[in-house]
Amino acid sequence: MLDIQYIREHADQLKTAAANKQLNPEVIDTVLTIDEQRRDLIKTVEDLRRQSNELQRGIKGRRPTEEEIAQGKELKTQLKAVEPQLKEIEEQFTMAMLAVPNPASDDTPIGKDEEGNVVVRTEGHKPTYDFQPKTHDELMTEMGGLDTERAVKIAGSRAYFLRGDMMLLEQALLQFALKLMVSHGFTPHAVPVMVKEQAFINTGYGPWGMDDIYRNQDGEGLIGTAEVPLTAYYQDEVLREDDLPIKMVGMSPCFRREVGSYGKDTQGVFRVHTFNKVEQVVYTVADETVTREWHEKMLGFSEELLQKLGLHYQVLLMCTGDMGAGQRRKFDIETWFPGQDRFRETHSDSYFNDFQARRLNIRYQAKDGTIKHVYTLNNTVAATPRLLAAVVENYQQADGSIVVPEVLREFMGKEKIESQS
């Protein structure tokens, strides 16, 4: 959510920013129209209350005249008529404000879709093979580590079983990612995976992405990322500047309906409804320069993980049309999949300034005594089985076995995964 004064003063720029994100710029006009009605009603209510208070003070200690009694009744009647109108317009105002997107940073490339993303750099080297590399689903299925046929029969589309060493390799990746973030001073969290609808809205997933959330009969939703509960952790609290930055890392199962992805990535375990993820979330002071430093630093943690795994990848600066409504600046990392002969997205790194914190009412007392909203960031450390698929494809051998990356061997207890079918 943006500050209403900022919206009033930057309406034209915000309309352009919304259009650049492929969102409806008319939401700005809607907010300003409702805001004007709201301010008029607030003034009317305040004037009526002031008149009522003045009347009460004027008759204090004596019997009111008939005229004063009639005047008091008229003021109460007017207030009774106007106050419900103000309550209704306040609700409309809140909903309209939630539909205003966060403008992208000045250095975000303008583009309609993924074609407008910019490759910032490429790291590592493509692995070479003296055989034709297979895709992860071929390898994992052949060795008995993946079973989608039985999973789909039991659970429906995009379901999967990981078996034996493949399940253990996935857990090794998650444990390695968690250990890496703890070494960088992040506090580990196990998070609730079912949260209230307001938590999605307050972290910026609503009103735009609510169709992608699985819900129960009570209206609660299954999280698509630990970002939601972690970012909301200090909701309605006032921190101190000395508390910042707050560095949290969560490991959780994640659930996404994958609305709009019909027909995409139906093979293997690249785009699935349920997966596991290690996610980093940071609160910083209300300073975009400091936030951008953290944005780069958090990207660096994910790159460190990929480098330790020996994977080839590229970093992309995302364009306006390929980023979320709440994100101000966003990097993606795409890792090389030799079996598919292409880079695929494995990580996403974003910052929001106070967009999420205003919705969540997370503030801090600055050293000068003022109260400000924190700035928030989040980034993927490891999302599996997508990252698992990258490891499997890159470490495949001619005989169909998979070499375990050196940094994962302490978690796996072995150097190679052989067929288990």
Catalytic residue among 8, 163, 215, 271: 271
Both tokens assigned to 84: 């419900």
271 is catalytic: yes
Q: Which of 83, 197, 288, 345 is catalytic?
A: 345
Q: Note if 227 is an active site residue.
A: no
In the beta sheet, which residues pair with residue 382?
Answer: 278
Cβ atoms 298, 377 nearer than 8 A: yes
Q: List the catalytic residue out of 328, 329, 363, 386.
A: 386
Q: Among this protein's residues, is 63 annotated catalytic? A: no
- Let me know: does 309 contact 339? Beta carbons within 8 Å: no
Question: For residue 272, which phi and psi values (nearest 5 degrees)?
Answer: -130, 170
> Which residue in this structure is represented by tokens 């959510």?
1
Q: Cα dihedral sign for 85, 86, 89, 95? A: negative
Is 256 labeled as catalytic in the residue annotation? yes
Q: Pick from 35, 17, 15, 37: which is nearest to 27 by CA?
A: 15
Among candidate residues 348, 350, 358, 363, the one labeled active-site is: 348
Give yes or no for a contact between 230 and 248, defined as CB atoms under 8 angstroms apart.
Answer: yes
In the annotation, is 150 catalytic? no
- CA-based nearest residue to 3, from 92, 103, 85: 103
- Which residues are annotated as catalytic? 256, 271, 345, 348, 386
